[in-house]
Chains A and B, each alone.
Chain A
Amino acid sequence: MSTTATSPLPGNKGPGSPRPDTGSGVAKSAKPVTWKTPVLLALLGVVAFVFFGLMGPNQTAEFGISTDSDFFQLPAVEVPAFLGGIVLSVILLGLAAYAVFLKTKDQAAPAWLPITFTVLFVAAFLIWVVGGARTPSISLAGLIAGSVTLAVPLVFGSLSGVLCERVGVVNIAIEGQLLGGAFTAAMVATMTRSPLLGLLAAAVAGAVVSMVLAVFSIKYLVNQIIVGVVLNVLVSGLTGFLFSTVMQANKAQFNSPPGLDNIEIPVLSGIPIIGPILFKQTLVGYLMYVAVIVVWLGLFKTKWGLRVRAVGEHPQAADTMGIKVNATRFWNVTLGGAIAGIGGSFFTLVAIDSFTKEISGGRGFIALAALIFGRWSPIGAFFAALLFGFADNLQSIVTIIGTPVPSQFMAMLPYLVTVFAVAGLVGRSRPPAASGIPYVKG
């Protein structure tokens, strides 16, 4: 794609142009320590103490660790809910107090502190919810395995986002790519009776959606956010229309895809907790792990990745080094779409055995949040997606065992976690400098 110069201006000043502020300029000091983290932790600590501690239930909460198929069994963990709540919330308050203490000495809380706090808070919450339920017992193994399953489309979606934003294109269309992938996978798998072909078709569908984004945002310089939003609506409308006119009319012929089978790796899949997560997945599940690692290695360890990141940070610099900025962007965005498309096939080939309208249910946007929470890193995005998957799964399990908390509140959980995670617990993260800015030569 050759863009000819049309302006006498010496080029759009690269977003990464070195600041005139020099080393001889204002000294760089560490980021100032704010009250945000200590105050947030203290508030959460008080909430934990009052609700999970003082108002804690009197039952004993039981957490199953092994499943029947494990090759050795571990006993279930039983926690007296009231005592557990008190102990954990006191520890939480202690951690919060430590953060406050550090702040008074103008030191930032070390990274382990909010992480430990989050883990313990979740534990206290679990004990409280399970302890107060009609059946005070859940399977921890099932909870975690389910979280990973629910996280699969999120991970693929956020990897798509990582690939696009790292090269300088904002991808709001993840939702559309997931939905397009889900629809195409269902249709093609049904017609060919081959889930593998369905998977492949999903990747193509995602890539096609992405190409539209790429052409309009890179070649025609349309605002990337707007193209993305429009694409989401377009894909939603198109799949919805085809669903009600084609699929529903003849379900057997167009909308009863054969699913992907679970592939169990002998012995390893029997390890409690991690066995089912790592070694008892469908093809899409295994692909997810592979994709995370490959994208990470690719972005940070290869020549391709160096060029991609340069294009996303300072396209003009890349251009002057002979790298074709817009071509790099185009192919990266297309690749991102293909990955999101594969994620979309999860809905129709693994989770549910047919396509329905809006089957992706806004997960593309949660994937976007995971990408930001994960600080534009494939591995960070993976863990962020896991967290959201966990919140999603928790709310459904907790509803099943019958908690006193209204189910509507529980259903808000994943979104609450998203907001808090993105706004509160991450420090200020820095997106690729040229993300969202089209590159015009000259």
Chain B
Amino acid sequence: MVRVLKLELRGITKRFGSLLANDHIDVVVEPGQIHCLLGENGAGKSTLMNVLYGLYEPTEGEILIDDKPVSFRGPGDAMAAGIGMVHQHFMLVPVFTVAENVALGAESTKAGGFLNLDDTRRKIKEISDRYGFDVDPDALVEDLPVGVQQRVEIIKALVRDARVLILDEPTAVLTPQDTDELLDIMRQLKSSGTSIVFISHKLREVKAVSDTITVIRRGKVVGTATPEASTNELASLMVGRAVSLTLDKAPAKPQEKTFQVSDLTVVSPTGQHVVDGISFDIARGEILAVAGVQGNGQTELTEAILGLQDRVHGSILLDGEELVGRSVKDVLNSGVGFVPEDRSVDGLIGTFSIAENLILDRYDQPPFAKGISMSPAKVLENARTRIDEFDVRTPSGLLAAGTLSGGNQQKVVMARELSRPLRLFIASQPTRGVDVGSIEFLHKRIVAERDHGTPVLIVSTELDEVMELADRIAVLYKGKLVGIVPAGTGRDVLGLMMAGIAPEDAAPAGSAEKTRPGPDTPETPRTSTASAEGGDHV
């Protein structure tokens, strides 16, 4: 039996220059509990945990273990004190085997410093059997699916006798099924005496496993809650004002189908068919959302439409015009709005001003261009209008776009793309890394564009977002279209489809009701798969 341990953070403050990431945070993790830190992206949860794990030194405050103050000068000290951490970006060496990764830093050796991996293999087997992990110690980590890699991370912590396990946004990379399994593992760990600090911004999961919830906003603890609290209460606490989690969205009124993709195949530079024979169409006034685990061809699909991919076969018709083989500029000018999945890389130029970023696609057209010169007055005027219209929180349009928060950056990208007449609107991960308040706003703009009569294609790995926005849902798996199902299809069915199972096999008999849950849907019991929770994408 693992010895349980009480962990306390008292008045932790962490400053990075002028930025106050953690402001006198107090958290007590009782032994054998699952304690959730709930907060938006950038609220300071990860910083706090990095302090706890010895990666950062706190500016002020202290850490107490079993009521005794400790100080960690590095992760080694934290591990020795019984704290283990599973990072959001896994800390695994891809070219090492599972055993090598687990051994790293705590190697068993034979005489002369030679590695004794048999010892490590035995420990992995032991833990793997105890929790039903099914992990092969000799598999190369890079060949393992993400869910298994995460288990390797958990094993790494357990091998080092972790009695408090920190899980930093562990479900961000998982399919719904993997997520459910992880939640089960967390419960198992808890029952065997390991305390867990669970960092998340997903209310459904938080409510499902937590014993105690601490809500953090802008580096401060703003409240604690029990899992019985309603999603709306939690969300309001997290954001700091009342938020509506359910999108008011009138039923779609699809008109003629103006966008058709048929038999589209994209071949990657290494010769793989990353998009494999996909056909679908979108009507004016309709949102088609593409669901799938990251890396199943979504990126390549959107890039193919925009003309960013080289080896594209098949046809993409917009109002009868073929888009395949045309230049990006040509495609944009023919009325395609595109919000790329990574705004900081493809959506914005961080060092350019907001005003300049707002005309990146039209800098050479009137009224911004006159012959070979540009009109700064017009550019600035345009910026003012867009900033007002899209509620971009900035003192001036002349500031560098990189200084804005994630949500405001995304508003700038969205404002640019939606500010000209469109015949097709594509948004990839429209709200990734965006605060809840902005999510609400961005979703409304997307729906407004639909109601304006534009066919809309949304790609998102957040199932909640897909379920919220979609009028129809397409699921991609390994570059193939698993199926297109109506909005209101259950989370469990979509989850199975995301693992490649055809919709007719995925739908359990009798649950074929396709009605969309209304905003009044009562809170579901914490154990059920929340197919009825349409709203809590946060």
Contact = CB atoms under 8 A, between A and B. Distances in A.
A317 B274 CA distance: 30
Interface in B110-152: 112-115, 141-149
Nearest to B102: A321
B17 A6 contact: yes
A302 B113 CA distance: 5
Nearest to A300: B115
A322 B79 contact: yes
Given A25-B294, A26-B272, A323-B105, A306 B17 contact: no
A317 B294 contact: no
Given A7-B16, A320-B55, A321-B91, A302 B500 contact: no
Interface stretch (A12-20, A125-133, A364-372): A12-20
A383 to B, nearest CB: 22
B104 A18 contact: no
Contacts of B146: 18, 20, 22-24
B109 A303 contact: yes
B175 A303 contact: no
A27 B94 contact: no
Contacts of A307: 104-105
Interface residues of B, number: 67
B90 interface: yes
A316 interface: yes
Contact of B114 (A17, A302, A309): A302
Contact of A320 (B46, B56, B75): B75
Contact of B74 (A305, A310, A322): A322
A10 B168 CA distance: 12
Interface in B47-77: 47, 50, 53, 55-57, 74-77
B19 interface: yes
Interface string A313-326: 11011111111100
A321 B53 CA distance: 11
Contacts of A324: 74
B175 A24 contact: yes
B448 interface: no
Contacts of B50: 10, 442
B103 A306 contact: yes
Interface in A268-307: 301-307
Given A7-B16, A26-B274, A318 B89 contact: no
Given A6-B16, A26-B297, A303-B113, A317 B93 contact: yes
Given A18-B142, A22-B295, A302-B113, 15 more contacts: A7-B16, A16-B95, A18-B89, A18-B141, A22-B294, A26-B268, A26-B272, A26-B274, A28-B143, A302-B112, A303-B113, A303-B115, A319-B55, A321-B91, A322-B77
Interface of A: 4-8, 10-11, 13-14, 16-29, 31-32, 301-307, 309-310, 313-314, 316-324, 430, 433, 441-442
Interface of B: 16-17, 19, 21, 46-47, 50, 53, 55-57, 74-77, 79, 85, 87-96, 100-101, 103-107, 109, 112-115, 141-149, 156, 173, 175, 268, 270-272, 274, 293-297, 477-479, 498-500
8 contacts: A5-B57, A10-B47, A24-B478, A28-B143, A32-B271, A321-B75, A321-B76, A321-B105
